[in-house]
Amino acid sequence: MTALHETVTAATTVSDAVEETARQPYEYVRRELVEPDWRRFPGWSHITDAQWRDAQWQRVHCVKNIKQLRAVMGDLLAESFYDDLVADQERLATMSMLLPPQMLNTMAPTATGGDITKEFLADPVRRYMMPVASDRDPVWPNHPHSSRDSLHEAEMWVVEGLTHRYPTKVLAELLSTCPQYCGHCTRMDLVGNSTPSVDKHKLSLKPVDRQDQMIDYLKKTPGVRDVVVSGGDVANVPWHQLESFLMRLLDIETVRDIRLATKALAGLPQHWLQPKVVEGLERVARTAHRRGVNLAIHTHVNHAQSVTPLVAEAARTALDVGVRDVRNQGVLMRGVNATPDDLLDLCFALQGEANILPYYFYMCDMIPNAEHWRVAVWEAQALQHAIMGYLPGYATPRIICDVPYVGKRWVHQLAEYDREHGISYWTKNYRTGIEHADADALSRHYPYYDPISTLPEAGQQWWRDSGE
**Binding residues vs ligand SF4 (CB under 6 A):** 178, 181-182, 185, 187, 191, 232-233, 263, 300
Q: Which is nearer to ligand SF4, 185 or 414 (CB)?
A: 185
Give min distance, CB of 124 to ligand SF4, in A.
15
Give min distance, CB of 232 to ligand SF4, in A.
6
Q: Which is nearer to ligand SF4, 164 or 263 (CB)?
A: 263
CA distance 374 to 455: 13
Give min distance, CB of 318 to ligand SF4, in A.
17
Sheet holding 294-299, edge to edge: 157-159, 162-166, 169-173, 226-230, 257-261, 294-299, 325-332, 357-363, 398-403, 407-410
Give min distance, CB of 398 to ligand SF4, in A.
19
CA distance 444 to 429: 10
Give min distance, CB of 242 to ligand SF4, in A.
16
One-letter identity of residue 367: I
Residues 6+ apart with CB under 8 A from 358: 327, 328, 330, 346, 347, 350, 351, 391, 395, 396, 397
Give min distance, CB of 402 to ligand SF4, in A.
13
CA distance 449 to 45: 46
Q: Which is nearer to ligand SF4, 185 or 343 (CB)?
A: 185
Q: Which of 160, 258, 257 is nearest to 217 (CA)?
A: 160
Q: Which is nearer to ligand SF4, 302 or 381 (CB)?
A: 302
CA distance 393 to 151: 29
Q: Which is nearer to ligand SF4, 233 or 402 (CB)?
A: 233
Give min distance, CB of 261 to ligand SF4, in A.
7
CB 110 within 8 A of CB 36: yes
Is the C-alpha dihedral spanning 211, 215, 221, 227 positive or negative?
A: positive
Sheet holding 416-418, edge to edge: 416-418, 423-426, 446-449
Q: Which is nearer to ligand SF4, 369 or 453 (CB)?
A: 369
Range list of H helices, 152-267: 207-219, 239-250, 264-267
How many CB atoms are closer than 10 A to CB 314? 27
Q: Which is nearer to ligand SF4, 117 or 308 (CB)?
A: 308
CB 292 within 8 A of CB 254: no
CB 125 within 8 A of CB 305: yes
Give min distance, CB of 88 to ligand SF4, in A.
16
How many CB atoms are closer than 10 A to CB 25? 10
Q: Which is nearer to ligand SF4, 187 or 374 (CB)?
A: 187
Give min distance, CB of 49 to ligand SF4, in A.
26
Q: Which is nearer to ligand SF4, 229 or 423 (CB)?
A: 229
One-letter identity of residue 362: Y
Give min distance, CB of 306 to ligand SF4, in A.
12
Question: Looking at the chain, how many residues does it have?
Answer: 468
What are the angstrom distances between the C-alpha of 177 and each of 137, 190, 191?
A: 28, 9, 6
Q: Which is nearer to ligand SF4, 348 or 359 (CB)?
A: 359
For 431-465, the DSSP string reads --TT-TT-TTTTT--EEEE--GGGS-HHHHHHHHH
One-letter identity of residue 89: Q
